[in-house]
Amino acid sequence: MRDGLPVRRPRSIALAVCLLTVPFLLVTAGAPTGASATTGASARAAVRDATGVYIGTVTLRQTGRHTVQVSLKASRLSVGFHGFHIHAVGICDPKTTDPAGNPAPFLSAGPHFDLAGSGHGNHAGDLPALLVSRGGTASVTVESDRFTVTSLLDRDGSAIIIHASPDNLANIPTRYVSTTTGAPGPDAATLGTGDAGARTACGVVSRSS
């Protein structure tokens, strides 16, 4: 009020305030966060062995903000349990070698996908062991809240790996002694891969069309 009369703000000033405020609100309200995930987002991986033979397909679908459904249908595998993981790099090179120069197919896929610097059994990419039936076929669907589909499609990608041997998830009680270090409990190899052995099949995770 001025001299008993209401004060009117000039229209140009009010318009300027509106123009400055509205875009800011639109940007901040719509900005994505690192924890966000789009329900329905999906990806897939065509899995092949070291000779290039098609083994099967893995599909990954975001079923909730924090849950991803992972489904595999595969064949041409040896009977029994196999380690089944998501690895950190989306490169499936069957001709890679280990540091000693020995053939080590798919070493290009790097270590297990891991978002929190955890040990084996708690890696984000650790999945339940794959059970292959007589006839070499396997079918499994699991749900994980340790990653999102988007996190698997980061700059260096990720890959599905099927291993030659069962995965013990580093569950080696201290009453057992490492044959390599003499110390009780799991050794470095067990803590890294669960003694799942060689990588027998690999598939690069890619966004579904």
Domain for residue 33, yes or no? no
Establish if 191 belongs to a structural domain. Answer: yes
Measure the N-to-C terminal CA separation of the chain; round to a whole number of Å.
63
What tens digit of pLDDT does each residue of 69-81 get? 999 999 999 999 9
In a domain, 96, yes or no: yes
Give domain status of residue 156, yes or no: yes
Within-domain flag for 19:
no
Give the range among 17-26, 118-127, 176-185, 198-207 with minimum mean pLDDT. Answer: 17-26
In a domain, 48, yes or no: yes
Provide the domain limits for residue 200. Answer: 42-207
Q: Is 197 left (phi over 0), alpha (psi -120 to 50) or beta?
A: left
CATH number at residue 171: 2.60.40.200
pLDDT score of 59 more than 90: yes
* Domain count within the chain: 1
Asked, for residue 67, whether it belongs to a domain, the answer is yes
Please write down the HEC assignment for all residues of the chain: CECCECCCCCHHHHHHHHHHHHHHHHHHHHCCCCCCCCCCCEEEEEEEECCCCEEEEEEEEEEECCEEEEEEEECCCCCEEECEEEECCCCCCCCCECCCCCECCCHHHCCECCCCCCCCCCCCCECCCEEECCCCCEEEEEEECCCCHHHHCCCCCCEEEEECCCCCCCCCCCCCECCCCCCECCCHHHHHHCCCCCEEEEEECEECC
Indicate the residue type of 3: D
- Is residue 37 domain-resident? no
For residue range 119-158, list pLDDT tens digits in order: 888 899 999 999 999 999 999 999 999 999 999 999 999 9
Q: What is the pLDDT of residue 107?
A: 97
Of the listed ranges 21-25, 49-53, 169-173, the least confidently predicted one is 21-25
Paired sense of beta strands 206-207 and 42-49, if any: antiparallel
